[in-house]
């Protein structure tokens, strides 16, 4: 593996993904959407990719990249604590945007919880516009999902 390598992650990478999310303090739902079989199902979807960035053969960052043919989404972006504040997240965003552009997608979106100040600042610095006029609704079949 190269010193600085991006790749699509596969089901065998599940434990490494969860470990990075935990180390980065990213919440996850192990009984719902982040259950191993659910992650593996998501990885098989045509327009969804788990992207990993490796630095010196170590998983340094993860993001879930998806699109619906019209709008692209960068989700669950997390950077290992040892690589935070080194532009790894900004470079990961650029990689995701370039991949989406190659798919013909020209609108990029993220959802960020209002108490996640680091992510709010990160995406603002990367020219993402906050839309205070949009109200987000969800319906969950169970609390764990």
Correct CATH for 4-125 of 1.20.120.80, 3.40.630.30, 3.40.50.1820, 3.30.230.10:
3.40.630.30
CA pair distance 71, 22, nearest whole angstrom: 28
Identify the pLDDT of residue 28.
87
Query: Per-residue pLDDT for 2 more than 50?
Result: no
In contact, 145 and 32? CB cutoff 8 Å: yes
DSSP structural state of residue 56 = T
Its pTM stands at: 0.90
Domain ranges of the chain: 4-125
Of the candidates 29, 118, 35, 109, which has an alpha carbon nearest to the alpha carbon of residue 79?
118
In contact, 83 and 112? CB cutoff 8 Å: no
Query: Per-residue pLDDT for 1 more than 70?
Result: no
Question: pLDDT tens across 19-72, in order?
Answer: 999 999 998 899 999 999 999 999 999 999 999 999 999 999 999 999 999 999
Res. 4 pLDDT band, cuts 50 70 90: confident
Identify the pLDDT of residue 3.
61
Question: pLDDT tens across 100-135, in order?
Answer: 999 999 999 999 988 999 999 999 999 999 999 999
């Amino acid at each position: 593996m190269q010193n600085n390598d991006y790749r699509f992650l596969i089901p065998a990478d599940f434990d490494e993904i969860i470990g990075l999310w935990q180390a980065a303090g990213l919440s996850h739902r192990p009984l719902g959407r982040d259950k191993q079989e659910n992650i593996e199902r998501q990885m098989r979807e045509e327009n969804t990719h788990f992207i990993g960035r490796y630095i010196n053969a170590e998983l340094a960052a993860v993001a879930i990249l998806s699109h619906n043919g019209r709008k692209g989404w960068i989700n669950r972006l997390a950077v290992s604590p040892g690589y935070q504040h080194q532009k790894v997240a900004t470079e990961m965003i650029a990689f995701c945007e370039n991949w989406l552009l190659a798919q013909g997608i020209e609108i990029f979106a993220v959802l960020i919880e209002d108490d996640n100040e680091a992510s709010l600042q990160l995406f603002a610095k990367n020219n993402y516009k906050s839309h205070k006029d949009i109200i987000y609704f969800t319906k969950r079949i169970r609390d764990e999902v």
